Chain A
Amino acid sequence: EAGVAQSPRYKIIEKRQSVAFWCNPISGHATLYWYQQILGQGPKLLIQFQNNGVVDDSQLPKDRFSAERLKGVDSTLKIQPAKLEDSAVYLCASSLMITSSYEQYFGPGTRLTVT
């Protein structure tokens, strides 16, 4: 079974530029998550989708971050404009369902450096 796919793996941009990340979840997984992981910290949830609907985006900085999940499969996360503090690894994860016992599996992540 193929895992969660993400691209690009690395991205370097200047502050105030825009960037987009792509995620393809494990086949059949209804729930998709975007996390931000800053060096030395645990992943922090940015947004979670159930199929193509947003379940929780309470920690998404909506003035600069946006995300969508078209047709309930692939998802993109965009940052516009980027700030220096956005330098982090952006992780996508998926699970079969959203309810408590379903386990989340992570993709390889995208390492973003903002200069």
Chain B
Amino acid sequence: QKEVEQNSGPLSVPEGAIASLNCTYSDRVSQSFFWYRQYSGKSPELIMSIYSNGDKEDGRFTAQLNKASQYVSLLIRDSQPSDSATYLCAVKYTDKLIFGTGTRLQVFP
């Protein structure tokens, strides 16, 4: 059984702080990793993809991948109240995307 684990939260951070969201996965064969943001009552929206070890930055978002530790994280710098949402980690296993249960982020003013 392929698993993707996330802390369900909520993770509460003050406006302007760095939010750190973490995800672990069970299968070392995985090559592709994605972060989706899901606002309440909406569908998942792709915000980051990462395929190789290290960091990938896009605006205020940084994805970090460590395949040896089977760990992927998402950092959100200068967090805004509009970042409050559930963040889903997804890992691709043989062309099938497996999602974690998501971490709920709350950014308070």
Contacts and interface: CB of A to CB of B under 8 A. Distances in A.
Interface residues of B, number: 24
Given A43-B44, A91-B44, A109-B43, A104 B99 contact: no
Contacts of A104: 34, 46, 97
B43 A91 contact: yes
Contact of B51 (A43, A101, A106): A101
Residues of B contacting A: mostly: strand
A107 interface: yes
A91 B46 CA distance: 14
A42 B49 contact: no
B44 to A, nearest CB: 5
Interface of B: 4, 8, 31-32, 34, 36, 42-46, 49, 51, 88, 90, 92, 95-102
Given A45-B96, A98-B95, A100-B95, A106 B32 contact: no
B95 A42 contact: no
Contacts of A56: 95-96
Residues of A contacting B: mostly: loop
Given A100-B32, A103-B49, A42 B42 contact: no
